[in-house]
Amino acid sequence: MNGIFSDRMQDVPRSFIREILKVTMDPEIISFAGGLPNRAFFPIDELRVATDQVFAERGADCLQYSNSEGLLELRAFIAQRYQEQQGIRLDPEQILITNGSQQALDLLAKVVLNDGESVVVEEPGYLGAIQALSLYRPRYLPVPVHDDGMAVDQLASAVERDRPRLMYTVPNFQNPSGISYSSENRREVAEIIAGRDLLLIEDDPYGALRFRGEASPSFYHLLPDQTVLLGSFSKIVVPGFRLGWIAAPAELYEKLLIAKQAADLHTCNFTQYILLRYLQDNDLDKHISRIIEAYGRQCRAMLAAIDRSFPDTVTCTRPDGGMFLWGRLPDGLPAMDLFERAVARRVVFVPGEPFYTAAGATSTFRLNFSCVGELVITDGIGRIAEAIGEMIA
């Protein structure tokens, strides 16, 4: 069978996290491994009402084929939100509704990258982006991210040396590390790439989930002609609708639209209608504030338990929002060993390996705090602390 597969499928790994999630379906296991939004906040009653209304108002039309760009009213809602929340002026015609922001990554790579061209990625970086980009066979230029953003010296030399076409960033509450780029770091990054033939992807599914501190301006304010904005309803309404978007300059938009048509004709318009009705009849900000309140509480509980029970030699990030934090074991201790010891104690997380484009053992690991209540968080972190104790004893 091997002979029939395309070259581009050669090096793309299966999603390691999806493999781990299979192991953790067992309800007895405490899981900090997932990357899921908390289902307790899915507005199912409101979505049921919205669904009934869509059927009543639109009848069979809501099940007909639709346009590839997405519903204009939904795109107008997104544009208005950019204006209100971030002072970003966008024409709804610049917004393309995609099948989650995951599809946006695929489409962007498809229209921009030739085989072997260079892409700057964050290290560690979002696994799903690495997987999506890998199908287009890029050469990765991993640039480390630290507590306040990208390592600008490394970025500058990578950009100068390799002339990348794309740069993928998650500047707010990054997956997997939970860090955000400071305003200063964003300015430095923008200075390095300004005027180059390089498109910066700002993927921002978590920006609305801030439970502490002040937002820094989007890259769009610094580099309007080079920035592509990716957004998603997955973390603020529901992921199962698979509704996300790209906001892109006109020329790029044209190409993305062709790629979108070729991929799937259009994003499911039934869920777009339901979401639109939901957004028109409900207060999204109030809904988001309930999510933030819980995630903030859970993050604080996790950090408090870590401060109490992990040795000082294990460090972790202290996110201001989002769903993840990132731990680092003392040098040389592989997080995979900790993972195995943790599984024996019926608690799981994701070891850092899959978030790096280069293979090799790492001492880092990701902890998710969105789905588990405070008591269970405290219990689970205590079990990991025991496992760490056993490793460094």
Residue closer to ligand PMP by CB (options 126, 310) is 126
Q: What is the 3-state secondary structure (H, E, C) of 53-81?
A: HHHHHHHHHHHCCCCCCCCHHHHHHHHHH
Q: How would you class 162 by CB atoms within 10 Å of its CB: exposed for 0-12, middle for 13-18, buried for 19 or more?
A: middle
Least distance to ligand PMP, CB of residue 262, Å: 19
Residue closer to ligand PMP by CB (options 118, 131) is 131
Q: What is the number of the residue whose Cβ is closest to ligand PMP? A: 100
Residue closer to ligand PMP by CB (options 49, 292) is 292
- 144 phi and psi angles, rounded to 5 deg: -60, 145
Residues 6+ apart with CB under 8 A from 70: 95, 96, 97, 98, 245, 266, 267, 272
Residue closer to ligand PMP by CB (options 275, 387) is 275
Residues in contact with ligand PMP by CB under 6 A are 35, 100-102, 126, 128, 170, 175, 203, 205, 232, 234, 239, 244
- 155 phi and psi angles, rounded to 5 deg: -60, -45
**Are the C-beta atoms of 349 and 385 separated by less than 8 Å?**
no
- 267 phi and psi angles, rounded to 5 deg: -75, 150
The DSSP bridge partners found for residue 150 are 145
Least distance to ligand PMP, CB of residue 177, Å: 11
Whether a cis peptide bond, with omega within 30° of 0, leads into 13 is no
Give the separation between CA 230 and CA 252, rounded to whole angstroms: 14
Residue closer to ligand PMP by CB (options 239, 380) is 239
Least distance to ligand PMP, CB of residue 321, Å: 13
Least distance to ligand PMP, CB of residue 129, Å: 6
DSSP state of 213: S
Q: How far is CA 267 from the centre of its chain?
A: 20
Residue closer to ligand PMP by CB (options 142, 244) is 244
Residue closer to ligand PMP by CB (options 248, 388) is 248
Least distance to ligand PMP, CB of residue 287, Å: 17
Give CA angle at 100 (89, 122), nearest 5°.
80
Pairing of strands 199-203, 166-169: parallel
Residue closer to ligand PMP by CB (options 241, 273) is 241
